[in-house]
Structure 1
Amino acid sequence: MTGTQAHEPDTDHPGWRGGGSVSLPEAFRSIAVPEGANWWRKLAAFTGPGFLVAVGYMDPGNWATDLAGGSAFGYTLLSVILLSNVMAIILQALSARLGIATGRDLASACRDAYSRPTAIMLWLLCEVAIVACDLAEVIGTAIGLNLLFGIPLVWGVCLTGLDVLLILMLQRHGFRRLEAFIMALIAIIALCFLYELIASRPEIGPLLAGFVPRSEVITNPTMLYLAIGILGATVMPHNLYLHSATVQTRAFERTPTGKRDAAKWATIDSTVALSLALFVNAAILILAASAFHTIGRTDVAEIQDAYQLLSPTLGAAAASTIFAVALLASGQNSTITATLAGQIVMEGFVRLRLAPWLRRLVTRGIAIVPTVIVAALYGESGTARLLILSQVVLSMQLPFAIVPLVRFTSDKTKMGNLVSPTWLKVAAWGIAAIIIVLNAKLLLDTTMLGATSR
């Protein structure tokens, strides 16, 4: 394979219009896949992109919605976390298939398939989603710094702008090192919540019953708002763009057989990683339900309140500190993947390439300004409401990423032998329909509530 071929997207499917540049050119096909290796070495070679994606499924935005849901409604919303995770596994598998089959990330595919005005509209909507995600990371990191070191929220928010230095340092050492750092932080988060679960001693019967869906999730407006927040915090639109690009860091054979094999291993990677994310999200809600809801504290919706109450409620002195350590690790992890997603989206939709540090400062600056204002004016309660709102905004952006993804991966002229089978098409379109309907209901309820209040 020549250097030119290695830096061009596939053009062998007539369903695509034109070529274009590759995703993340500095890391494109930079990680070797051993030929003829056993399954363990193959799995090791493909492990990484799924964990980068999983970071977005356990970021501080998830903490806010899961804590609020567990405190207010006990284990009931565990079913929403489970269903959201199943949706995420299916959608991320589609995203990986798109990148592997076509050599295009989702943003580049949209640019090729749609008119320029439509592509620009989708780009702007995706940028809104990335800013909403970054908002959650800014707040989560600032809260973590406040809880562990006593740094005021406003100063903590400002300090988050310095994480660009961490990203630059990691990227200088190669994509594999970046993945290793992310996986190490994920391990820290998972171990922290394993400790919290053991300390909280949840009741197994009600816990398992919580995974069974209930109609009241749809009929209760407050529960629906939190449910859609959980959905938005779990299935993140920018992760669909991110995954379709990062799978192309692997130098797999670009033959029909090589692509099918790569898609299999990439799906295993993302499924394992998202199963770990399911554990973390469920653990946060279970912790809130067992520690707070069961003693009548249904009002614990803020991370700071949870931190203050955990140790005395559970009778474990380390519970609060471990909770804050996991929060800080979560915020730092998410900030790295958001930067990558922002780069992919900007280059893919409009072919505008910025230096990573500049891209990061722009995105972070947009998120920092409203957060500083809210933190200064309203303090902890304001940042908590802003955190949950950011996740609902994310959910509202989902259809604009999911519909193109499902459409592309259902088209044989675009996907070749990796086109979605019938069952997968039905499942994917069903997921898109569920998200659109839930978002429409939330908008209707919110509009009617606003009209009634006036």
Structure 2
Amino acid sequence: MEEPKKENKHLDHYYEDSEIDTYFSNNKVKIPVTEKSGFNFRKLWAFTGPGFLMSIAYLDPGNIESDLQSGTVGNYRLLWVLFGATVLGFIMQSLATKLGVVTGLHLAEMCHRQYKRIPRLILWVMVEIAVIGSDMQEVIGTAIAIYLLSNKIVPLWAGCLITIIDTFTFLFLDKYGLRKLEMFFGLLITVMGITFGYEYVVSGPNSMDVVKGLFIPMCKDCDSKQAVGVIGAVIMPHNLYLHSALVKSRDIDRKNPERLKEANMYYYIESAIALICSLIINIFVVSVFAFGLFQKTNGDIVSIIEYNNNHLGNISLLT
């Protein structure tokens, strides 16, 4: 005989108001029903997606540039900062998912309900400035990357236009289904993992130095500003708004405490897996540039590139 559902009267007003028509109202992913309780891979797969969409923010051009600078300037000494920032990011993302799962409201909706008009407007302006500041470096960084990869054929202004166009392309992708969008971004993360992992294996940095950098807090002769930059690149406030909204894409019975507990558990697992993947990729980037560029001047790098081009057939300067 099926057990009666337990009601949570304390949150009933949230459940009722969150039933209004929203972005995910007609596109929610169904959660499979199983007879046995406990962990189930089918349910984990159903909940998998929001964490990987969120983890893209941990692998954006700002993070890669921060990793490059961290390895070039600080060698392996700032890897523990990256590790700690990712752990802190996981804690904050978990709180964001819990808010979305339990209340059925994302962080922006909750702020709108709980704050008065003036604090609400100030918060909105601050977040908009943060998003604009983040997007500016993404657009400019991508334009510079296209300029370099095209051997200066594509000018910076054209690179900015290409970046704007591909941004709108990604926005329209979800019209083909949320799961397809999640899989596409999962594919992008996989490509990043393979390519940066290949660079790590080819360059061959000292594994013990990498491990020490990860687990032994040290900052001797390192730039404290660079450490702050690592934290700022990893933890971004607008990502909390995103994650708290993405978890609403799953069809969860929020009036049943058991279903809420189950959803939170699977989201914690999925977020942990996604952030572990992003952490590994970031470690690859820091380690490769620490091995190849630490304590090297611009003249040293130019000499290495010229030697590789003339004698070794364009082998990477990091090998």
Alignment TM-score > 0.5, same fold: yes
Q: Which amino acid aligns with 1:36?
A: T
Question: Cα deviation per residue 1:383-441 (whole Å; 9 max; x = unaligned)?
Answer: xxxxxxxxxxxxxxxxxxxxxxxxxxxxxxxxxxxxxxxxxxxxxxxxxxxxxxxxxxx
Question: Cα deviation per residue 1:6-52 (whole Å; 9 max; x = unaligned)?
Answer: xxxx9852797994676952456611111117711111100000001
Indicate whether 1:166 and 2:169 are aligned.
yes
In the aligned structure 1, how far is the partner of 2:21 from the partner of 2:289? 40
**1:99-138 equivalent positions in 2, closer than 5 A:** 99-138=100-139
Counterpart of 1:32 in structure 2 is 30
**1:21-100 equivalent positions in 2, closer than 5 A:** 25-26=23-24, 30-36=28-34, 39-100=40-101
In the aligned structure 1, how far is the partner of 2:228 from the partner of 2:20? 34
TM-score (norm 1): 0.60
Q: Is the 8 A contact 1:24 1:245 kept in 2?
A: no
In the aligned structure 1, how far is the partner of 2:120 from the partner of 2:30? 33
In the aligned structure 2, how far is the partner of 1:162 from the partner of 1:141? 12
In the aligned structure 1, how far is the partner of 2:242 from the partner of 2:26? 13
Q: Which amino acid aligns with 2:178?
A: F
Q: Which amino acid aligns with 2:156?
A: L
Counterpart of 1:431 in structure 2 is none
Q: Which amino acid aligns with 1:190?
A: G
Q: Which secondary structure state, in structure 1, belongs to the residue aligned with residue 142 of structure 2?
A: helix
Percent sequence identity is: 33
Per the TM alignment, residue 309 of structure 1 is displaced from its structure 2 partner at its CA by 5.5
**1:373-384 equivalent positions in 2, closer than 5 A:** none
CA pair 67-106 structure 1, distance change in 2 beyond 3 A = same
In the aligned structure 1, how far is the partner of 2:142 from the partner of 2:9? 42
Q: Which secondary structure state, in structure 2, belongs to the residue aligned with residue 13 of structure 1?
A: helix
Q: Which amino acid aligns with 1:204?
A: S
Q: Which amino acid aligns with 1:35?
A: V
Counterpart of 1:329 in structure 2 is none
Q: Which amino acid aligns with 1:80?
A: V
In the aligned structure 2, how far is the partner of 1:93 from the partner of 1:233? 18
In the aligned structure 2, how far is the partner of 1:316 from the partner of 1:172? 45
Q: Which secondary structure state, in structure 2, belongs to the residue aligned with residue 210 of structure 1?
A: helix
In the aligned structure 2, how far is the partner of 1:266 from the partner of 1:175? 17
Per the TM alignment, residue 152 of structure 1 is displaced from its structure 2 partner at its CA by 2.1
In the aligned structure 1, how far is the partner of 2:285 from the partner of 2:169? 27
In the aligned structure 2, how far is the partner of 1:200 from the partner of 1:206? 14
**1:183-222 equivalent positions in 2, closer than 5 A:** 183-214=186-217, 216=219
TM-score (norm 2): 0.84
CA pair 16-292 structure 1, distance change in 2 beyond 3 A = same
Indicate whether 1:297 and 2:296 are aligned.
yes
Q: Which amino acid aligns with 2:225?
A: Y
Counterpart of 1:248 in structure 2 is 248
Q: Is the 8 A contact 1:23 1:245 kept in 2?
A: no
CA pair 86-14 structure 1, distance change in 2 beyond 3 A = same
Q: Which amino acid aligns with 2:29?
A: I
Question: Cα deviation per residue 1:294-341 (whole Å; 9 max; x = unaligned)?
Answer: xx31679xxxx89x959949x785758xxxxxxxxxxxxxxxxxxxxx
Q: Which amino acid aligns with 1:247?
A: V
Question: Cα deviation per residue 1:104-136 (whole Å; 9 max; x = unaligned)?
Answer: 111111111111111111111111111122123
Larger radius of gyration: 2
Q: Is the 8 A contact 1:23 1:105 kept in 2?
A: no
Q: Is the 8 A contact 2:106 2:245 kept in 1?
A: yes
In the aligned structure 2, how far is the partner of 1:42 from the partner of 1:178? 19
Q: Is the 8 A contact 2:78 2:219 kept in 1?
A: no
Q: Which secondary structure state, in structure 1, belongs to the residue aligned with residue 149 of structure 2?
A: helix
Indicate whether 1:157 and 2:160 are aligned.
yes
In the aligned structure 2, how far is the partner of 1:311 from the partner of 1:111? 60
Counterpart of 2:145 in structure 1 is 144
Q: Is the 8 A contact 2:78 2:218 kept in 1?
A: no
In the aligned structure 2, how far is the partner of 1:227 from the partner of 1:132? 19
Question: Cα deviation per residue 1:147-195 (whole Å; 9 max; x = unaligned)?
Answer: 3223222321232121244124412201111111111111111111110
The number of residue pairs the alignment matches comes to: 300
Relative to its length, the structure with more helix (as a share) is: 1
Structure 1, unpaired ranges of 5+: 1-9, 321-454
**1:259-408 equivalent positions in 2, closer than 5 A:** 259-293=260-294, 296-297=295-296, 312=308, 317=314, 319=316
Counterpart of 1:13 in structure 2 is 11
Counterpart of 1:333 in structure 2 is none
In the aligned structure 1, how far is the partner of 2:51 from the partner of 2:315? 31
Per the TM alignment, residue 284 of structure 1 is displaced from its structure 2 partner at its CA by 1.1
Structure 2, unpaired ranges of 5+: 1-7
Per the TM alignment, residue 216 of structure 1 is displaced from its structure 2 partner at its CA by 3.2
Q: Which secondary structure state, in structure 2, belongs to the residue aligned with residue 202 of structure 1?
A: coil
